[in-house]
Structure 1
């Protein structure tokens, strides 16, 4: 009995999975960024026997506080999990600019927990609206209370916002950790409680997102007052509210707070403070004059 071999058509090569492509792109990107940085740029000695262009892998691992083997696996496109904390450390160690940082997180399939100094949602038209509202303080915020952009009056209303690092420009963080911001709010404890309750209500739709979890973790770690308020499990919705501030430049200011939503869903919004009386209006004009004179 003769057995005939069954002919089979050659199998077409399988298309690489998207995850594989991302890992190889990530590996190549990390290598390219590492090789362009000199040791002197990050405060490391060059030494005599350096053959690698730029930084060595172990130096990036040291600067990022991760294991050398683990970082090597990253550059070898191994299938390993990368946390947003590690990506943040790598971005800082490799001196990535905002565009490069965004590319790093996109290749890793992660959400950047740190708001950038600029945001795609902050268009030139929106910046123009902020300027036209002056002397009324106004800013753009997302649903996590990150301050994405602001006009000159808002920049000096509660503190010198330009002096605050971009990663700390978050109303919740400032209201619970920044002494100057806190001292400017007349009814501080009530404001803190309402903000935490609104944040809890908004977070219900973002429980699995790293940026939200990292913000919550930071607030709980840095503020005992926040931990106490958060553990009450209070929830409130956004609403218009009259607020009182004591500005260090012009004194007491009373304003009506309004959220102008920029889309159909509660997300990015323009926050406006309209003076509630003539004296507050005059003082806001004075504050704008101060900001303009300082070049803010």
Structure 2
């Protein structure tokens, strides 16, 4: 929190959030936020909770990773595929829509609900809800039940896209993977989510990582997949006010490229 406050003061960002103007298009203000977040990323790095050590990157490493990030990616295959492109403010290339962001869903409702989402052509990439049970049994993290739900849900995910008439539609997963085991069971295996789908790798807020996350990274790279990383910043949490959450979000979004080898960077604010 101290480092965030220092950056907010250094770049005159304190109380710049305006609830009456939630979509601020002040380019100069955006530049100051980015510079502050960039400095925060280099100064703090990420804390590895497993080892209680800090992972730091140099400015050269950060710049190299950002430049190496793909300018565009094809998610899915054939006519149903979606091309994601790096966009800038006022970019004419349309944004893409993924749904349904992993909302916890009952096992009996999940197939029909997910199929309904897949049939909406406004949805470009299918994620679907997360399951807390499989075959009526509660899924317990880091147990075989998590590996099982990873595989079974991934199989349903593939079949649902076919049933919806969009077999080549891109997907995101494994959304029910609380730890690495669900990812091992559901991504890059025959019959499961394909390497043309995005491998979802979320890391803890704020500016943290752990071996569970890094196992997912290594697994995705090993099978030749694409990494979709992200970590929501929390208003009122460690970074404090909305302005602090923005700085944390920027720092996390930058660091996921050199540390998590992200192909697609994610970062939102809750």
- Shorter-normalised TM range: under 0.3
Higher helix share: 1
TM-score w.r.t. the length of structure 1 is: 0.25
Larger radius of gyration: 1
The structure with higher relative contact order (CA 8 Å, sep 6+) is 2
